[in-house]
Amino acid sequence: MPLALDNLRVGRIYLLVNQGEVRKIEVMAWISGENFRIKDLDTLEYYTLHELLQWGKGKDYDLEELR
C-alpha cells in the first residue's frame, strides 16, 4: 500500500513507481500542501512532486520509504 503524500518527510529517500517509471527520490523541501521539491537520485535533477504526478496516478502507483 503506497504512502500518502502528506506522510513524506524532508531528508528521507523514497521509491516512486508511477505509469511505468521507477524513480528513487529524496525530498529536499516542502513547498506547500502536498507539493515538495525533490531530487531524482538517478539523474540528480530537481523536480517538484506536482510535476511528476501532473498526469495522474497510474494503476501501478506506489510510494514507499527506502531505509
Domain ranges of the chain: 8-65
Of 14, 63, 61, nearest in space to 40 by CA? 14
Q: What is the dihedral of CA 17, 53, 51, 10, to 10 degrees?
A: -70
**pLDDT-based confidence at 14, cuts 50/70/90?**
very high
Question: Residue holding cell 537520485?
Answer: 41
In the CATH scheme, what is the code of domain 8-65?
A: 2.30.30
> pTM of the entire structure?
0.89
Residue-wise pLDDT tens digits, 28-61: 999 998 899 999 999 999 999 999 888 888 899 9
